Amino acid sequence: MKITDVKVIVCSPGRNFVTVKILTDEGIYGIGDGTVNGRELSVVSYLQDHVAPLLIGRDPSRIEDIWQYLYRGAYWRRGPITMAAISAIDMALWDIKGKVANMPLYQLLGGASREKVMVYSHAQGMTIEEAVDAVGKKRDEGYVAIRAQVGIPGLPAIYGTGKGSDQGKGGMVDALPNEEVWSTSKYMGHIPKLFASLRDTYGDDLHLLHDTHHRLTPIEAARLGKDLEPFRLFWLEDPVPAELQEGYRLIRQHTTTPIALGEIFNTIWDAKLLIEEQLIDYIRTTSVHAGGVTGLRRIFDFASIYHVRTACHGPMDVSPVAMGANVHIDLWVPNFGIQEFSGYTPLMHEVFPHAWKQDGGYLHPGEAPGHGVDIDETLAAKYPYERAYLPVNRLEDGTIWHW
Ligand code: CS2
Ligand code: MG
């Protein structure tokens, strides 16, 4: 079998997605996600101008060799754009391998380790009352794990602090970046009140999560983790930007609140020390950003020997294609923790028909060969690319801060 074409499809059925379709001389094709939120066209160029010409004529069954060729062979290793391009290709090649074998991807990986994949959903409100209600609604839909975010008194709503739509074009992206305002001191005291209220209302059984979106320093994160201990969070996510991996030692010395990290990581090197020193509890790398199935499997196996569990990033900008790949990995991976799932619009489900299924707070990848996700190219073509950015964040005095 030989690769005959690598198509890159960009569409915006509510938000931008970059999708790769690898075609072969035997008529079998594979699909991969290469979406990097707010930087989509960089991946398109990387794939079209630099990667596609290298693949024509190659044997698609040699997934590892192609991965190494694109990673080592580029000389300029790592980084979100390079790794998203590799991810898209890798995902499509595993899809082809599954179709050739007539097996779902999770079977190729070693088979199911569980019956279903626990996911967490998002709930938010401007006030604690609203946020508590929003969590209740998700609980009623069957979710057993819910990420709760709340507006901060004295601050306008921004991503993760009560803003309703954090996932579509309505709230998160714009023709130019929204400039948002942040104050750590206003935030710190308010969050424990939210979780106190959630535990009062719903008891101890529900898994509660919270995302700090990289906005604290290590000592602030240590204090927040300590303040949240009575409420037994499933995790505190992204408390501090993690370029300085050893900075997490300080957090660990002070709190037993579990820490989740890694939605923006793209290789094992972003997390090596964090994992080896057991400074985190959940690794949030995802198939579209961390080297596809091949990259993710390697990171998760390494994490397993240090008691770090998996928690693939899965907001709406991780397309239904990457969600499919994630859910196959989740069903197999021995050290599974949880899968993020914020859901998609009806149109997105139509553009990307998929075998994976939701049942309340759980997903299953389905039994279709490969990862089981396709793209309806005719429908996708009706929704062309629209320029969009993630917001940026400033402190109240105007200083640029972490978004
Ligand atoms: C968030 C994301 O899902 C999450 O935990 O942090 O919504 C993130 O902000 C976006 O995916 C950025 O692309
Ligand atoms: Mg996050």
Specify the pLDDT at position 161. Answer: 82
Q: What is the mean pLDDT of residues 250-278?
A: 98
Mean confidence (pLDDT) of the chain: 96
When pLDDT is cut at 50, 70 and 90, the band that residue 160 belongs to is confident
* The pLDDT of residue 89 is above 70: yes
**Is pLDDT of 171 > 90?**
no
- Identify the CA nearest to 89 among candidates 106, 104, 74, 110: 74
Q: What is the pTM of this model?
A: 0.97
Q: Are strands 29-33 and 145-150 parallel, antiparallel or unpaired?
A: unpaired
**What separation in Å is there between the alpha carbon of 216 and the centre of ligand 2?**
14
Secondary structure letter of residue 113 according to DSSP? S
pLDDT, average across residues 343-365:
98
The confidence band for 164, taking pLDDT boundaries of 50, 70 and 90, is: low
> Can 213 be counted among the known catalytic residues?
yes
For ligand 1, atom 7: residue with the closest CA: 315
Q: Which residues line ligand 1 (CB under 6 A)?
A: 37, 211, 213, 263, 313, 315, 317, 340, 390
Model pLDDT, residue 169: 52
CA of 132 to the centre of ligand 2 (A): 20
DSSP assignment string, 44-71? HHIIIIIIHHHHTT--TT-HHHHHHHHH
* pLDDT exceeds 90 at position 162: no
Instruction: Considering every ligand atom shown, identify the ligand nearest to the alpha carbon of residue 168 and give its number.
Output: 1
Give residue 341's Cα distance to chain centre: 9
Q: What is the position in ligand 1's atom list of the atom closest to the CA of 316?
A: 11
The pLDDT of 253-258, averaged and rounded, is 98
Please state the separation of Cα 188 from the chain's center in Å.
25
Tell me how far apart the alpha carbons of residues 33 and 17 are, in angstroms, rounded to a whole number. Answer: 8
Exactly one of 29, 120, 143, 213 is catalytic; name it. Answer: 213
Per-residue pLDDT tens for 2-50? 999 999 999 999 999 999 999 999 999 999 999 999 999 999 999 999 9
Is pLDDT of 166 > 50? no
Q: Name the strands in the sheet holding 179-182, side by side, starting at the edge strand that comes first in the sequence.
A: 179-182, 392-395, 400-401
**Which of the listed residues 35, 317, 344, 390 should we mutate to test ligand 1's pocket, taking the one with most ligand atoms within 8 A of CB?**
317
Domains of the chain, earliest start first? 3-104 (3.30.390.10), 108-367 (3.20.20.120)
Tell the residue nearest (CA) to atom 12 of ligand 1: 37
